Chains A and B, each alone.
Chain A
């Protein structure tokens, strides 16, 4: 009885909060981030948003119930109420109404929907926070964020490890028990995490043009495939295009992490070709990578003709050998596009990659988009709903193959942010949405980019102090 009274009182209180004397206005609410008509995972953190209409109060109802009513220009949801809302509406579509109180009283914008997908998103997201001018660094941090709430932890901070540059963190699959990232500069190396034990590796052979740059794990964790690249940064005269980063040389190698030796093959170290962005297929039977002819002289005209095809070569995990035949999956010459960052879905059915007009650095290409391909049929599936007018690049799959995270510069063209989109069984994508934040002005005030977002099934078992300790070890070398 007492419980019922409390519930009725609470319901009355909610009902009382809904605004009265409301004027309906046409058009969507001017909200940032844009969370209108999206599919969201059942375990996502509250989608707090800002209303950019000078409102003094914002009220949000979801399926008729008030979930946020604040005397400020933004909507923020209680985590507890939010999660019970999503849990109770798995697979359903919710209707959201946004009310805003301005000088002329309350107004209501056109309602929109949130479809709650029962497909869970892997709960952790790792990324590098870095200033967008990649030439110099000063304030780099590798972080992991729990996407179910707003908890963020640094797992490598360059202020702690002696102001060294750090590159992107990559999991083996989405397993937090196996991952690796690079710390550059004197005393640096590849930091390999195996079950929380960190090891410093020097993944560079004497015959290689550089150490390991882009890499991917084999499913057994025994091998990593990596590219050695000679990377040149350049600056466009046309300021709006900003930066161009290109390779003058690049080759692929496989490193045996057990025997500490390199596996070389002339198939993927062709001196007339550039081979880069390698990734193992989830079954470990193929290495997918990008390949383009080398350019003679560095001019923009030449760089603009450089287009990378998507290829694959067989790999035998048992014998540790690279196959001799290269298959072209996406022909750059035919499609007149350049492919970067191929990543196969964990179920092995789909492959997602970036396509740009040319080159190997889609991050600064406004036209860069994501593209999906069905590996069984070879059908290309444009990701129109997920893409935007800005650059989309560096994506990562969730372990159930139903979600993608990627970096998008759609908001301002300079600062990358992590966006998610749902992928159905046929490879069709939903409209993408940005990682929600506790403070609605977080992205507006941030002067750093989210770089190389990767999804993980759990929290990483090490801290920045463990990284510092690992860096003090002697590096394990490879032959």
Chain B
């Protein structure tokens, strides 16, 4: 990076501490702190949601699977970093720091696209403003609830690699033909490596070379040949990676720009979902009843599930303008992931482990990563409840290979259950349906009555059954169910029975 005569315009350590650079550094730090604060205060549940929808396994076969697609390094590093989203404050911190590093390299690289003798505004401020703008655009993409870090790492990786290449080859680029040839060969090889490691980051790698050539008075032969080669080899690359040309070019994706209001709506919904998974049932009820925001059916689902957990579902049923108990969910290949996950929660709550497993597998299949931590945990739990320890071990073994869930898996290992786990399993086991019967489809009335036939003390199932009859406006069915599985002393039911 240090150049003796400073012809390239690269900074000596001494010159780096000039005032404009200090101000720029301060701006970058301020931006990073602001970014962290923004995401932590407004979108922190997004991060936990992303973490729950992946399971990073420290296992050679899983790691080697990254090589089946371009951008293996960006994807592996991104998924590895995303597992820390599990911890409080970690999500926004990881994103903000990643953006800072990205911004620094974008700034340094863009500076090389400006002639060395240009004025400070052009040489320092324009690249800084452009880098900050880039950081802001990239940060904005993280309002999308499924935004993966690898998209940022892919772009950042391409920029970092170009900067490294530029620093190394700066000297011999001036030696006319020999320099041009050596540079071009190195550039083409690095462009290929860049695509393999950073996917679409290779576009930034080539673009920076083209942009910087006029400033350095260099012939961008390597970049031009790389573009021609990429065009000629695109068919082979697509076949090799089994991808469509557009996907292959932009892998792992540029990110998705979502409307800020919609993103906030998703965050509100994720608040319910995640607080429910943290068993903060009272908090959810409080939030639902006191929030002035519009209530979506999903929010109503978690509100009613929380009420059911606390045994007060009938008391809260009429507090919902449009109740959604989840009992009318039918799963098929068109169901969206969130709906399937809600169904899995409902089945686990009422005690039907067959349908819990089915919904969890179904949700896992339709998730972007095909291996969601929350679903793998639930699959293990469902198998432990029914006493299928071999089945549970399949999932526990995977959880043990992760950094985040190792301890959880140890606590849930048959033979060494923690006291809390044992208590929970004993509680859930009371309610499972062991009748010798078969259900066609997922009619919730059949599922709920089956559970109640197995155990009349399953108050959660009883409340879901009777409340479903009420919201379906089936008074006759309510009376039949109430007479068969009741009584249950609560104001709402008493009013209807009378």
| A and B part of one assembly | yes
Q: Report how far A412 CA is from B385 CA in the complex, Å.
A: 15
Taking a contact as CB atoms under 8 Å apart, the answer to whether A444 and B398 are in contact is: yes
Taking a contact as CB atoms under 8 Å apart, the answer to whether B353 and A239 are in contact is: yes
Taking a contact as CB atoms under 8 Å apart, the answer to whether A131 and B365 are in contact is: yes
Q: Does A414 contact B (CB under 8 A)?
A: yes
Q: Does A135 contact B (CB under 8 A)?
A: yes
Q: Does B322 contact A (CB under 8 A)?
A: no
Q: Report how far A237 CA is from B450 CA in the complex, Å.
A: 8
Extra inter-chain contacts (12) besides given A236-B437, A239-B357, CB under 8 Å: A133-B365, A136-B332, A237-B433, A237-B434, A237-B437, A238-B354, A244-B438, A413-B388, A413-B390, A441-B60, A441-B61, A441-B401
Stretch at the interface among A82-90, A154-162, A286-294: A154-162
Q: Does A111 contact B (CB under 8 A)?
A: no
Residues of chain A within 8 A (CB-CB) of B366 are 136, 138
Residues of chain A within 8 A (CB-CB) of B331 are 135-136
Residues of chain A within 8 A (CB-CB) of B166 are none
Taking a contact as CB atoms under 8 Å apart, the answer to whether B365 and A138 are in contact is: yes
Residues of chain A within 8 A (CB-CB) of B19 are none
Residue of B242, B385, B398 with most partner-chain A CB within 10 A: B242
Q: Which residue on chain A has the smallest CB distance to residue B435?
A: A237
Q: Does B275 contact A (CB under 8 A)?
A: no
Residues of chain A within 8 A (CB-CB) of B401 are 441, 445
Q: Report how far A239 CA is from B371 CA in the complex, Å.
A: 22
Taking a contact as CB atoms under 8 Å apart, the answer to whether B365 and A236 are in contact is: no
- Output the least CB separation between B193 and chain A (Å): 24
Question: Would you list the 3 A-B pairs with minimal beta carbon distance, nearest first?
Answer: A439-B61, A239-B353, A133-B361
Contact pick for B242, options A131, A154, A239, A303, CB 8 Å: A154
Give 1 or 0 for each of B353-396: 1 = CB within 8 Å of chain A CB. Answer: 11101100110111000110000000000100111101101100
* A window 132-146: CB within 8 A of B: 132-133, 135-139
- Output the least CB separation between A300 and chain B (Å): 4
Give 1 or 0 for each of A241-276: 1 = CB within 8 Å of chain B CB. Answer: 010100000000000000000000000000000000
- Output the least CB separation between A351 and chain B (Å): 31
Q: Report how far A447 CA is from B382 CA in the complex, Å.
A: 16
Q: Does A234 contact B (CB under 8 A)?
A: yes
Taking a contact as CB atoms under 8 Å apart, the answer to whether B57 and A445 are in contact is: yes
Q: Report how far A154 CA is from B391 CA in the complex, Å.
A: 28
Q: Does A464 contact B (CB under 8 A)?
A: yes
Residue of B239, B352, B358 with most partner-chain A CB within 10 A: B358
Taking a contact as CB atoms under 8 Å apart, the answer to whether B440 and A232 are in contact is: yes
- Output the least CB separation between B355 and chain A (Å): 7
Q: Report how far A137 CA is from B362 CA in the complex, Å.
A: 8
Q: Which residue on chain B has the smallest CB distance to residue A464?
A: B242
Residues of chain B within 8 A (CB-CB) of A139 are 365, 370
B interface residues (Cβ-Cβ under 8 A, vs A): 57, 59-62, 64, 239, 242, 331-333, 352-355, 357-358, 361-362, 364-366, 370-371, 382, 385-388, 390-391, 393-394, 397-398, 401, 432-440, 442, 450, 454
Residues of chain B within 8 A (CB-CB) of A8 are none
Taking a contact as CB atoms under 8 Å apart, the answer to whether A445 and B365 are in contact is: no
Taking a contact as CB atoms under 8 Å apart, the answer to whether A447 and B364 are in contact is: yes
Q: Does A367 contact B (CB under 8 A)?
A: no
Q: Report how far A244 CA is from B438 CA in the complex, Å.
A: 8
Q: Report how far A235 CA is from B442 CA in the complex, Å.
A: 9
Q: Report how far A138 CA is from B358 CA in the complex, Å.
A: 14
Q: Report how far A300 CA is from B435 CA in the complex, Å.
A: 11
Given contacts A234-B438, A244-B438, A412-B393, whether A439 and B60 have CB atoms under 8 Å apart is yes
Given contacts A137-B365, A138-B365, A242-B354, whether A445 and B393 have CB atoms under 8 Å apart is no
Taking a contact as CB atoms under 8 Å apart, the answer to whether A136 and B333 are in contact is: yes
Q: Give 8 CB contacts A-B under 8 Å.
A: A135-B331, A137-B333, A237-B354, A237-B433, A238-B434, A412-B390, A414-B394, A439-B60
Dominant secondary structure of chain A at its interface with chain B: loop
Taking a contact as CB atoms under 8 Å apart, the answer to whether B439 and A133 are in contact is: no
* A window 51-66: CB within 8 A of B: none
Taking a contact as CB atoms under 8 Å apart, the answer to whether A445 and B332 are in contact is: no
Taking a contact as CB atoms under 8 Å apart, the answer to whether B390 and A240 are in contact is: no
Taking a contact as CB atoms under 8 Å apart, the answer to whether B437 and A412 are in contact is: no
Taking a contact as CB atoms under 8 Å apart, the answer to whether A444 and B450 are in contact is: no
Taking a contact as CB atoms under 8 Å apart, the answer to whether B61 and A442 are in contact is: yes
Taking a contact as CB atoms under 8 Å apart, the answer to whether B436 and A413 are in contact is: no
Q: Report how far A160 CA is from B238 CA in the complex, Å.
A: 11
Q: Does A450 contact B (CB under 8 A)?
A: no
Taking a contact as CB atoms under 8 Å apart, the answer to whether A465 and B239 are in contact is: yes
Given contacts A135-B358, A136-B332, A240-B387, whether A444 and B433 have CB atoms under 8 Å apart is no
Residues of chain A within 8 A (CB-CB) of B61 are 437-439, 441-442, 445
Q: Which residue on chain B has the smallest CB distance to residue A233?
A: B440
Contact pick for A239, options B370, B382, B440, CB 8 Å: B382
Q: Does A411 contact B (CB under 8 A)?
A: yes
- Output the least CB separation between B242 and chain A (Å): 6
Residues of chain B within 8 A (CB-CB) of A240 are 386-388
Q: Report how far A138 CA is from B440 CA in the complex, Å.
A: 22
Q: Report how far A299 CA is from B386 CA in the complex, Å.
A: 23
Q: Does A415 contact B (CB under 8 A)?
A: yes
Give 1 or 0 for each of A410-452: 1 = CB within 8 Å of chain B CB. Answer: 0111110000000000000000000001110110110100000
Taking a contact as CB atoms under 8 Å apart, the answer to whether A411 and B354 are in contact is: no
- Output the least CB separation between A244 and chain B (Å): 5
- Output the least CB separation between B404 and chain A (Å): 16
Taking a contact as CB atoms under 8 Å apart, the answer to whether B437 and A242 are in contact is: no
Given contacts A136-B365, A138-B365, A160-B242, whether A298 and B434 have CB atoms under 8 Å apart is no
Contact pick for B333, options A138, A237, A411, CB 8 Å: A138
* A window 291-316: CB within 8 A of B: 298-300, 303
Q: Which residue on chain B has the smallest CB distance to residue A448?
A: B370
Given contacts A137-B333, A234-B439, A235-B355, whether A445 and B62 have CB atoms under 8 Å apart is yes
Q: Which residue on chain A has the smallest CB distance to residue B62?
A: A445
Taking a contact as CB atoms under 8 Å apart, the answer to whether A133 and B394 are in contact is: no
Taking a contact as CB atoms under 8 Å apart, the answer to whether B440 and A234 are in contact is: yes
Residues of chain B within 8 A (CB-CB) of A415 are 394
- Output the least CB separation between A103 and chain B (Å): 18
Give 1 or 0 for each of A120-136: 1 = CB within 8 Å of chain B CB. Answer: 00000000000111011
Q: Which residue on chain A has the smallest CB distance to residue B364?
A: A447
Give 1 or 0 for each of A225-237: 1 = CB within 8 Å of chain B CB. Answer: 0000000111111
Q: Report how far A246 CA is from B12 CA in the complex, Å.
A: 77
Given contacts A242-B354, A444-B394, A444-B397, whether A237 and B365 have CB atoms under 8 Å apart is no
Q: Report how far A310 CA is from B495 CA in the complex, Å.
A: 61
Residues of chain B within 8 A (CB-CB) of A300 are 436-438
- Output the least CB separation between B254 and chain A (Å): 20
